[in-house]
Homo-oligomer: A and B are copies of this chain.
């Protein structure tokens, strides 16, 4: 049985392309008040920064231990569930869940020993479609339509609060995993997508169509399936054979 400390340690908060260092500090404070420690930063505009430290208001360890990454994938390493916060209403082909549902899902995954990422976009532009494509669901804080944008650290606070309440509440019994083995982590999935893209190229699948659109569509599909390591090996094997055939076909 996992303790609250085990669960909190498996949950990370990822801030993507944050413009204002003050928001990083406020987010550090927000998660710390709710018992969390793990902050990951993807290409922050300025970090470390005096303003971040000032607004952390004592959550110095959170800032000191924050990871800084060149891309979202790096920040998701080891995690098998990524939930992206967004105020968007449409155009994103992802399941939309509430913060409360997100907390339940995150906790259930953490209780199974998985690592979970809550992902927050840039203050002005939010998460890009490509970034959301790396997430398994979109979390929408139920703001009003005519004034929908929460301050970044406020969104972090709401999510951290819901997670804390969920942890203190009916500590979820570890639900059986969706399938036998744990899903592959983000880095493995990324390797697979690279292999898939190469193969599509080599078997001349695109024929002038836009590869990006197709790859986003395929990412969503496999994201939903959450393949485990064994399944990924099978898929890699299929791709390798298709590549082999393409190589033979062209060596004529």
Q: Which residues of A contact B (CB under 8 A)?
A: 26, 29-30, 32-35, 57-59, 93-101, 141-144, 147-151, 153-154, 157-158, 161, 164-165, 168, 172, 175-176, 178-180, 200, 203-205, 214, 217-218, 220-222, 224-227, 230-231, 234-235, 237-238, 241-242, 244-249, 252
Contact = CB atoms under 8 A, between A and B. Distances in A.
A54 to B, nearest CB: 12
A172 B241 contact: no
B154 A141 contact: no
B225 A222 contact: yes
Contacts of A178: 95, 224
A165 B99 CA distance: 10
B150 A33 contact: yes
9 contacts: A32-B144, A32-B147, A33-B141, A100-B165, A142-B161, A142-B165, A203-B244, A248-B252, A249-B249
A59 B227 contact: no
Contacts of A96: 175-176
Contacts of A249: 245-249
B217 A151 contact: no
A151 B26 CA distance: 8
